[in-house]
Amino acid sequence: MALQDDLAAAAERAAAFAAEGEHVDAVLAAEPSIGRRVYLCAFAGDAGRSWLLLDDVSPVTNRSVVREAVALAALCEVVGEAIGDEPPRLASPAYLDEHGSPDIVTSAFGAVESLTEEVEATYKGELT
């Protein structure tokens, strides 16, 4: 299945978690380790933005897994934009190794931390 198809399927699964007045706004795929793919889903609505990380079966509630996936996805988005790589892209350590430069990655840390804080503060569910 192509990445675009995986993202569409994840968006369909995520829609079940949308609150009234919310919709799935974006889905990013991350593969923190080979064979473990997760989907960072952004929801938009009247109350603002909220987030959920899905694996192949259910929402992820482990805080460290969420933080790792958010950081990886954010770093790969920054790198992808810097090099002109059009989305969608699979966020992975291999992508960073192939395309990232120390300057780009270092400059992204503030944005990564800010996004991580936002995701944790507006997460759909309790993180453990």
In the chain, what percentage of residues exceed pLDDT 70? 99
pTM for this predicted structure: 0.94
Q: Where are the domains of the chain?
A: 3-121
In the chain, what percentage of residues exceed pLDDT 90? 94
Angle subtended at Cα 26 by Cα 54 and Cα 67, rounded to the nearest 5 degrees: 45
* Cβ-count burial 91-123 (b if 16+ within 10 Å, e if not): bbeebbeeebeeebeeebeeebeebbebbeeeb
pLDDT at res. 58 = 93
pLDDT-derived band of residue 56, with 50, 70 and 90 as boundaries? confident
Q: Is the pLDDT of residue 118 over 90?
A: yes
